[in-house]
């Protein structure tokens, strides 16, 4: 009798082991709402994994990247705007965490130099055309 | 004038070469600094990992006394190496609050019995949410938080014995 009881207990023992970590189910699962999933995906593809650094969090196997995916999906499901989440992540990790270039700040020269180069090119070319016309 | 111009491409190439060479010889620092230094700790509330009666929250960091927040895990190999330095800090009456990432109480107890327990309380950050809110990119990382709950300093990586003096100085500054 006791043996049978023990066997029964052993059979169900995996059920007794409660999941100890409360990881988000959305780390690697899509949101039920396709529109929200599309928004989350678009954001996750432009957030850099802070562990592997060359990858977006969508393509990273790092635990931290998985947790970031879960967090982004949950926050979007809760109605938060993707760009607000991006801004929050930039606040925490710096501009570097976003693959989407932001206008202004340290990236200003990147936007302005091409304009200068174009203006300089036009100025140089102008001289050429004048000479030919004569 | 023409003679000077003749050298211009060479000078241009040499300076370009110097830029690339210095980039190759001194690889960039890959650590990701937290944007929270100088700002208040984010609102968070974590259950106690070992003692459910000892939760860790933003309020437990703003108690009027500067303290240390250590982001670690029992599975983190470098965290073993920083244990002696943390014990040294604890012996100097520094309060260390731990945040354990992706951890389990049994694994953590084993880790603490092997390496010593410098922590006043340990929060259970099972899904890294608090770590992300702190702008921490890995384990171990250590933050100095002042009495008002403002992050004053971040140390990325292992706290080595010679970092103890730096952290003590930062704690004093935060007073």
Chain A touched by B133 (CB under 8 Å): yes
* Phi/psi at B119 (5° precision): -90, 135
Q: Confidence band (pLDDT; 50, 70, 90) for A108?
A: confident
Chain B residue numbers touching A60 (CB-CB < 8 A)? none
Burial class, A21, CB count within 10 angstroms (exposed 0-12 / middle 13-18 / buried 19+): exposed
Nearest chain B residue to A85, by CA: B133
**CA-CA distances (angstroms) from residue A49 to A38, A54, B155?**
19, 7, 20
Which residues 15-74 of B are in CB contact (within 8 Å) with A?
Answer: 30, 32-36
* Alpha carbon distance B134, B85 (integer Å): 22
CA distance B44 to chain A (A): 14
Q: What is the pLDDT of residues B37-72, one digit of tens each?
A: 999 999 999 999 998 889 999 999 999 999 999 999
Residue A2: in which H helix or E strand, if any?
helix A2-11
Q: What is the pLDDT of residues A26-61, one digit of tens each?
A: 999 999 999 999 999 999 999 999 998 889 999 999
Write down the pLDDT at residue B23: 87
Contact present, B102 and B124 (Cβ < 8 Å): no
Asked if the Cβ–Cβ distance from A71 to B34 is below 8 Å, we say no
Contact present, B143 and B66 (Cβ < 8 Å): no
Beta partners for residue B153, in sequence order:
B144
Mutation choice for B interface testing from A54, A67, A68 by most B CBs within 10 A: A67
Asked if the Cβ–Cβ distance from A21 to B138 is below 8 Å, we say no
Write down the pLDDT at residue A83: 95
Please tell me the least confidently modeled range out of A123-132, B13-22, B104-113.
A123-132
Asked if the Cβ–Cβ distance from B36 to A92 is below 8 Å, we say yes
* Alpha carbon distance A17, A4 (integer Å): 21
**Model confidence at B129: pLDDT above 50:** yes
Contact present, B73 and B126 (Cβ < 8 Å): no
Residue B78: in which H helix or E strand, if any?
helix B77-91
Q: What is the mean pLDDT of chain A?
A: 84
């Amino acid at each position: 009798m006791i043996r049978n009881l023990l066997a029964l207990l052993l059979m169900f023992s995996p059920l007794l082991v409660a999941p100890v970590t409360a990881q988000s189910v959305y780390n690697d699962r899509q949101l039920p709402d396709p529109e929200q999933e599309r928004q989350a995906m678009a954001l996750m593809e432009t957030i850099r994994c802070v562990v592997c650094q060359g990858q977006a969090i969508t393509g990273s196997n790092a635990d931290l990247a998985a947790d970031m995916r879960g967090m982004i999906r949950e926050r979007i499901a809760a109605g938060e705007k993707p760009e607000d989440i991006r801004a929050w992540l930039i606040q925490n990790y710096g501009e570097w965490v976003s693959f989407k270039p932001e206008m202004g700040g340290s990236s200003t020269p990147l936007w302005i130099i091409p304009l200068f180069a174009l203006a300089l090119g036009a100025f140089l070319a102008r001289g050429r055309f004048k000479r030919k016309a004569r | 004038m023409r003679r000077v111009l003749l050298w211009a491409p060479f000078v241009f190439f040499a300076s370009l070469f110097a830029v690339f060479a210095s980039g190759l010889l001194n690889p960039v620092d890959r650590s990701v600094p937290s944007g929270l230094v100088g700002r208040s700790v984010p609102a968070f509330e974590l259950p106690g990992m070992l003692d459910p009666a000892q939760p860790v929250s933003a309020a437990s960091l703003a108690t009027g006394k500067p303290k240390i927040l250590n982001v670690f895990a029992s599975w983190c190999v470098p965290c073993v190496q920083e244990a002696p330095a943390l014990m040294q800090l604890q012996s100097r009456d520094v309060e260390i609050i731990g945040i354990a990432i992706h951890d389990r109480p049994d694994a953590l107890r084993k880790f603490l019995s092997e390496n010593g327990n410098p922590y006043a309380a340990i929060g259970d950050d099972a899904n890294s949410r608090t770590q992300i809110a702190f702008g921490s990119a890995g384990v171990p990382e250590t933050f100095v938080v002042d009495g008002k709950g403002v992050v004053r300093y971040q140390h990325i990586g292992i706290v080595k014995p010679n970092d103890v003096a730096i952290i003590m100085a930062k704690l004093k500054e935060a007073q």
